[in-house]
C-alpha cells in the first residue's frame, strides 16, 4: 500500500516539475518577426538648392551701331509680342572714327548732347567729335549716319515675344555698339529651376533624370520635372575662401502655376537610378555596438546568430549592406532582448 502511495506522490511531483519546466522554457521563448533579404534595384537621390527663373528669354540687339532716340518701357514692364519698346537711328559704322566707335562691352558708349529730333542728330554727333582734343578723333569725311537716318527715318525696335522686360541696357541718346544686347524679354508663361550641384555630386547627374521640386515659398506644394542641361564648366562660389565649387544645372518644371514665382528658392531632389542590385536591410533590423560596429541577427533552424555587417549608402527604406549577409538570409526585425542563446518563435507560423 505504501509502495503505491509513494509511486503516486512521485508521479504527481514529476508531472508538476515537468509543468514548471515547460512553463519556464516557454517563458524564455521570444516571438519575433523576420524578413528574408532579397537583392533589388534601389534608386538613390541627391538634394540641392536652386532658384526659380523664367525659362525662355530673348535678347534684342542690332547688327549695326545706333543711337537710341526714344525708350517707351521700363525694366520689369509686361510687353506684348510686336510692341514697340524703343526707337533708334542707325549709325554708319564704316564712316565712324575708330577711336569713337563704342567698345564691345559698351563701357565707352556716348551720351549725345542736344538731341531734339532726327534732323539735328547728325550735327549733335559732329559736335561731340569736334569736342575731342585728339587729332585722331576729328571727323572723317562722309555721313556718320546710315542713309535711312540721314533721310529722317527712325527704326522702331519691337519685342520679339510676349513677357516681362527683364533687363534694359540702354537709355535715350546713348550710342549702342553693333551686336550689343539692348534689352532682354523673358517669357513669363514657363519657369525653370537653376540648380547649383556640388563638384562631388555632379558626376551622378544626367540629362532627363526626374526631379521633385519643393520650397518655402510654395509650402505644401511639390512639382515634378527633369534635368534639361548641365553646364560645361564649374564655378567657384566662394573664391576668397577657395571653397564650394559647383556646376549649374537646369531643371524643367512640369505644370507650373502662379504659385511658383521667379526668384523663389527651390529645393530639388534629383532621382539617381541604380544600375546594379543591392542588398537593403531595414533600419529596424540593424543594431550597433558601443564601438560603432553594426550587426543583425540571422535566423537559421529556429536559432539566432549575431552577424556583423558593413553598410554603405543609406536609402529611405534602409541600409545598403556590402558584407556580412547574403541574399536569402532571414533576419530578425527589431531584435530587442535577443542574443545567441535566445529561443525564438517566428510569429504567424
Convert the pLDDT of each residue in 62-115 to its tens digit.
888 888 889 999 998 999 999 999 998 887 655 555 444 444 444 444 444 433
Asked if the model's pLDDT at residue 27 lies above 50, the reply is no
What mean pLDDT comes out for the span 202-230?
93
Place of cell 526626374: 210
Confidence band of 128 (pLDDT split at 50, 70, 90)? very low
Confidence band of 126 (pLDDT split at 50, 70, 90)? low
Asked if the model's pLDDT at residue 14 lies above 70, the reply is no
247-275 per-position pLDDT tens digit: 999 999 998 888 888 889 999 999 988 76
Q: Supply the pLDDT for residue 313.
A: 81
Q: Supply the pLDDT for residue 123.
A: 52
Distance, CA of 93 to CA of 44 (rounded, Å): 57
Q: Supply the pLDDT for residue 80.
A: 92
Amino acid at each position: 500500500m505504501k509502495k503505491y502511495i509513494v509511486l503516486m506522490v512521485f508521479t504527481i511531483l514529476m508531472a508538476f516539475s515537468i509543468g514548471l519546466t515547460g512553463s519556464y522554457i516557454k517563458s524564455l521563448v521570444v516571438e519575433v518577426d523576420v524578413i528574408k533579404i532579397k537583392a533589388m534595384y534601389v534608386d538613390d537621390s541627391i538634394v540641392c538648392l536652386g532658384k526659380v527663373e523664367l525659362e525662355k528669354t530673348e535678347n534684342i540687339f542690332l547688327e549695326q551701331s545706333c543711337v537710341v532716340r526714344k525708350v517707351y518701357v521700363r525694366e520689369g514692364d509686361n510687353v506684348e509680342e510686336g510692341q514697340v519698346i524703343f526707337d533708334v537711328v542707325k549709325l554708319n559704322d564704316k564712316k565712324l572714327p575708330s577711336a569713337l566707335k563704342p567698345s564691345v562691352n559698351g563701357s565707352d558708349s556716348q551720351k549725345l548732347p542736344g538731341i531734339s529730333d532726327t534732323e539735328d542728330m547728325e550735327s549733335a554727333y559732329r559736335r561731340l567729335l569736334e569736342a575731342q582734343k585728339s587729332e585722331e578723333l576729328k571727323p572723317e569725311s562722309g555721313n556718320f549716319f546710315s542713309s535711312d537716318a540721314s533721310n529722317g527715318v527712325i527704326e522702331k525696335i519691337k519685342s520679339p515675344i510676349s513677357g516681362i522686360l527683364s533687363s534694359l541696357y540702354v537709355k535715350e541718346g546713348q550710342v549702342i555698339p553693333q551686336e550689343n544686347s539692348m534689352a532682354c524679354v523673358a517669357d513669363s508663361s514657363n519657369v525653370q529651376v537653376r540648380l547649383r550641384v556640388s563638384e562631388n555630386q555632379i558626376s551622378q547627374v544626367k540629362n532627363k533624370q526626374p526631379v521633385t521640386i519643393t520650397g518655402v515659398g510654395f509650402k505644401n506644394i511639390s512639382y515634378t520635372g527633369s534635368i534639361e542641361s548641365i553646364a560645361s564648366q564649374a564655378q567657384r562660389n566662394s573664391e576668397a575662401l577657395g571653397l564650394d565649387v559647383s556646376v549649374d544645372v537646369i531643371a524643367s518644371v512640369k505644370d507650373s502655376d502662379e504659385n511658383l514665382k521667379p526668384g523663389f528658392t527651390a529645393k530639388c531632389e534629383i532621382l539617381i537610378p541604380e544600375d546594379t542590385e543591392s542588398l537593403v536591410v531595414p533600419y529596424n533590423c540593424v543594431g550597433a555596438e558601443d564601438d560603432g560596429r553594426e550587426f543583425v541577427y540571422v535566423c537559421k533552424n529556429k536559432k539566432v546568430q549575431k552577424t556583423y555587417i558593413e553598410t554603405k549608402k543609406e536609402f529611405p527604406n534602409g541600409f545598403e549592406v556590402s558584407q556580412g549577409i547574403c541574399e536569402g538570409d532571414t533576419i530578425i526585425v527589431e531584435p530587442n532582448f535577443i542574443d545567441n542563446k535566445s529561443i525564438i518563435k517566428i510569429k504567424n507560423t
